[in-house]
Amino acid sequence: MRAAIGRHRHDPRRRILLQVELARRWRDGGDYRRAGILLPLTLAAAERAFGADSPVVAAVCNEWGVLGKYTGHFARSHGLYLRALEIFERAHGPEHDTVATICHNLGGLAHARGDHREGEPWAARSVAVRTRLHGPDHPLVAADIAAWAALLDGCGRLDEAEARLAEALGILRRAYGAEHYEIAVTTHNLAALRHRRGDTTAAAEGYAQALALKERLLGTGHPGLAPTLVNLATALAQRGARREAAGHYARVIAILSPVVAAGHPTLATARRGLAATREQPSDEGTVLT
């Protein structure tokens, strides 16, 4: 990838898009530090080459926004997403895949911040736009539905959320088979919903399935495992398996501490959970989706 970037040093558009792809690969691989160094440099280069209102600039803003969601820099991500949305709407109109993607990401960011009511309309808009563009059985629509369901869950609309998650899981399995990251995410979210309903046995089983699939797809040290590990630990602690829960909480802390902001909510939840396993038994816990 770096060699390709060098070969296109006289083609600014191609070079910048390759740098965005490299940052995405680093993020997907859990190397948030290098992605965080590259993206601001890439955004500055895109602004110099194409102007502040270019769709190329919006693409960089979106990728940096995604990284910020993972690292806990939520306010910066929100501003980057809104900037990207304004550019894409002006360039392509309101009914475009890029617009649906930013709406999906704004919903996901609100979810990460715990602002479910703020995020739900963004997620609903992404589903509506993508369905009109691709039809109801497209995997992109399924991913949007699953993200929407997580926000519906957070808003307390549990029956609607469960129906949406089952719908999304069916679409994804038909499209991808059994081994795909979106299936792992949706399985996690369905387990989280059951967890919130009080069924810790079904929740722990679902988390374990999602974790095993994520580990096969991402590896055993990837930051993307953290939400599932935290929730599995919480379900196990609520069932009395405190030693096993402590091991999962400690694993989250080891995975996230080097790569996210100190106040990242998943890291904070893991620290609280680990401390709680060393105190008196409790059935309290935070469920992440």
Ranges of each domain in the chain: 178-289
- What was the pLDDT predicted at 28? 92
Decide if 23 contacts 63 (C-beta within 8 A): yes
Q: What is the rounded distance in angstroms from the CA atom of residue 94 to the CA atom of residue 133? A: 11
Residue 252: Cβ within 10 Å count: 25
According to the model, what pLDDT value does residue 279 have? 80
What pLDDT digit, counting tens, does each position of 15-41 carry? 999 999 999 999 999 999 999 999 999
Taking CA atoms, 34 is separated from 25, 38, 189, 194, 238, in Å, by: 10, 6, 29, 37, 38
Please state whether 11 falls in left (phi above 0), alpha (psi between -120 and 50) or beta: beta
What was the pLDDT predicted at 280? 59
Interatomic CA distance for residues 227 and 248, integer angstroms: 11
Q: pLDDT tens for residues 257-271?
A: 999 998 999 999 999
Phi, psi of 267 (to 5 degrees): -65, -45
**Who's near 250: CB < 8 A, 6+ residues apart?**
270, 274
Q: Is the pLDDT of residue 165 over 70?
A: yes
Rounded CA-CA distance 128/124 in Å is: 6
Half-sphere exposure (CA, 13 Å, Cβ side) for 273?
36
d(CA 13, CA 130): 27
Q: Taking a C-beta distance cutoff of 8 angstroms, is the pair 259, 33 a contact? A: yes
pLDDT (tens digit per residue) in 238-252: 999 999 999 999 999
Please give the average per-residue pLDDT across 43-65, as a whole number.
Answer: 97
Token reading at 68: 């910020």
Specify the pLDDT at position 5. 75
CB neighbour list of residue 217: distance below 8 Å, 6 or more residues apart: 179, 180, 181, 184
Q: Which residues, 6 or more positions from 86, have their beta carbon under 8 angstroms from its beta carbon?
A: none
Q: Does domain 178-289 have CATH number 1.25.40.10?
A: yes
